[in-house]
A and B are shown apart, each in its own frame.
Chain A
Amino acid sequence: MVLELKNVSKTYPGGVQALRDVSFGVPQGQFLVILGPSGAGKSTLMRCVNRLVEPTAGSILFQGKDTGQGSLRAIRRQFGMVFQQFNLVKRLSVLTNVMTGRLGYRSVWRSLAYSFPEEDKRIAVECLARVNMEHKAFQRADTLSGGEQQRVAIARALAQHPKVILADEPVASLDPKIARQVLTYLRQVAKELGITVLCNLHQVDYAREFAERVVGMSKGAVVFDGTAAELTEDILHRIYYREEKAA
């Protein structure tokens, strides 16, 4: 198991309970889709993994070590993150955006001059080439289409040389054709490089198409854990309409 979640809970200061006793393990190289409606706690779960959010209870082990201990920098660079809104720095070039994936490895002194070593440039261009975006390396990020921006964002995550990629609703802002293309890139590069992927999705179709394994979440708790083929109507109902059942 590259990643293990043990009884992870998160209650926000306002009293909202986003995660309730979540436990599961992820083997190296798996393409895991976390499926659930908006507000199920998928984003919080991801952010607990790379410690953007501090869980209130439980522990998360990365390669057997508790991510709560040790340097935040060392932990975070193991996890590349891809966001729904891409979160590229719009006014910087595509290449510079990808090079920011190297920041976790470099001293602040060099970064003060906005300069990166040759090695980082090579890594960045190679990562761009993996998503077929190297031809736009010198354009400003805001000149690209949504699908292209997300491919650049994937390249940025790859430049980190991560063990795991956390993709938080990576295709929610894209049309179906482009969404499939982006997910295909994500799956392909992860396979090539042996990277484990945790991908939040709310669309069942994409989960069926891309997931090796699906973890279904509802109201902060895991309600399903199995293969995409096991996603029956009944289970989907449990994931998406639990509220009505409870009522």
Chain B
Amino acid sequence: MSAVAAVLAEESQRRAQRLTRALLWGLLAAGVLWFTARQIGLNPVALARGAPFMADFFSRMFPPDLGHLALLRDATIETVQIAVWGTLIAIGLSIPLALLGAKNTTPHILVFHATRIFLNALRSINELVFALIFVAAVGLGPFAGVLAIALHATGMLAKFCAEEVEGVDRGPVEAMQATGAGRLQVILFGIVPQVVPAFVSYAVYRFDVSIRAATILGLVGAGGLGFSLVKTMKLFKYHETATCILVIFLLVFISDWICARMRARIL
């Protein structure tokens, strides 16, 4: 069969092309990566030399001052509260924003672009930077932290959800349209049920991330455990810093455990 031979010949030719291309791109990437490694001072030797200093730092933290634990109680609760409210607000805001920012549900292409630009802006600003802005606006304290987390999480959640909406199966959507349902009805019955599992899963994940973010917002005075972390370090009370880190670790650990269980139940 000569047709078979022809296909096999083309296959090896295509593979040779693929290999050459992979090799060229690989070399280019290696070159760029090597250059950037130099630029940012990637240096394992420096890390090895620095090891004793790190050991010294950790030895000063040991043992953690567990007497400090009682003082951290309120800050810990506050951290969780910030994360819960920040995430809830983000969920509320991201649902309409996702629908406006998805090509197949947006009322107008300009609204689509405006929403995407807005979401990009939200995502490009770190929680800490938002927190600084809100501390200036609403004063020191956890409310600034809640707003900071809410806005950043909205940017993430809405973008993710919008992409999920764009990826839905077209079939049910067409079927809803064929019933004479209005635009919003089509979205409610043809699209929303398809994206709910992914959205819930990501919202739970986002809560997990918010807990982590909330533990450091105190750095700029926006409430939570971060304040104690910075304070004890600045006062060289490393044993107390260790306690803070321990509490943060436990908090993240517990929230991860709860989130994993929630996700398993919902999906």
Chain A contact residues, CB within 8 Å of chain B = 95, 121-122, 125-126, 128-129, 134-135, 137-138
| Chain B residues, CB < 8 A from A122 | 4, 8
Known: A128-B7, A129-B3, A134-B7. 9 other contacts (CB 8 A): A95-B11, A122-B4, A125-B4, A125-B8, A125-B11, A129-B1, A129-B4, A137-B10, A138-B10
Q: Is A126 a contact partner of B11 (Cβ separation < 8 A)? A: no
Q: In the bound complex, what is the Cα–Cα distance between A122 and B7 (angstroms)? A: 9
Q: In the bound complex, what is the Cα–Cα distance between A154 and B63 (angstroms)? A: 68
Contact partner, A138, options B1, B3, B4, B14, Cβ 8 Å: B14
* Residue among B7, B10, B11 with the highest chain A CB neighbour number at 10 A: B7
Total interface residues on B, using CB and 8 Å?
8
Q: In the bound complex, what is the Cα–Cα distance between A56 and B15 (angstroms)? A: 47
- Beta-carbon contacts of B5-18 to A below 8 Å, as 1s and 0s? 00110110010000
Chain B facing A: main interface SS? helix
Q: How many A-B residue pairs have CB under 8 A?
A: 27
Q: In the bound complex, what is the Cα–Cα distance between A95 and B8 (angstroms)? A: 10
Chain B contact residues, CB within 8 Å of chain A = 1, 3-4, 7-8, 10-11, 14
Chain A facing B: main interface SS? helix
Q: Is B11 a contact partner of A121 (Cβ separation < 8 A)? A: yes
Q: In the bound complex, what is the Cα–Cα distance between A128 and B7 (angstroms)? A: 10
Q: Is B14 a contact partner of A134 (Cβ separation < 8 A)? A: no
Q: Is B11 a contact partner of A137 (Cβ separation < 8 A)? A: yes
Q: In the bound complex, what is the Cα–Cα distance between A128 and B8 (angstroms)? A: 12
| Chain B residues, CB < 8 A from A125 | 4, 7-8, 11
Q: In the bound complex, what is the Cα–Cα distance between A138 and B10 (angstroms)? A: 9
| Chain A residues, CB < 8 A from B1 | 126, 129
| Chain B residues, CB < 8 A from A134 | 3-4, 7
A51 → B minimal CB distance (Å): 27
A38 → B minimal CB distance (Å): 19
Residue of B nearest to A137 (CB): B7
Q: In the bound complex, what is the Cα–Cα distance between A134 and B2 (angstroms)? A: 11
Q: List 27 A-B contacts (CB under 8 A).
A: A95-B7, A95-B11, A121-B8, A121-B11, A122-B4, A122-B8, A125-B4, A125-B7, A125-B8, A125-B11, A126-B1, A126-B4, A128-B7, A129-B1, A129-B3, A129-B4, A129-B7, A134-B3, A134-B4, A134-B7, A135-B3, A137-B7, A137-B10, A137-B11, A138-B10, A138-B11, A138-B14
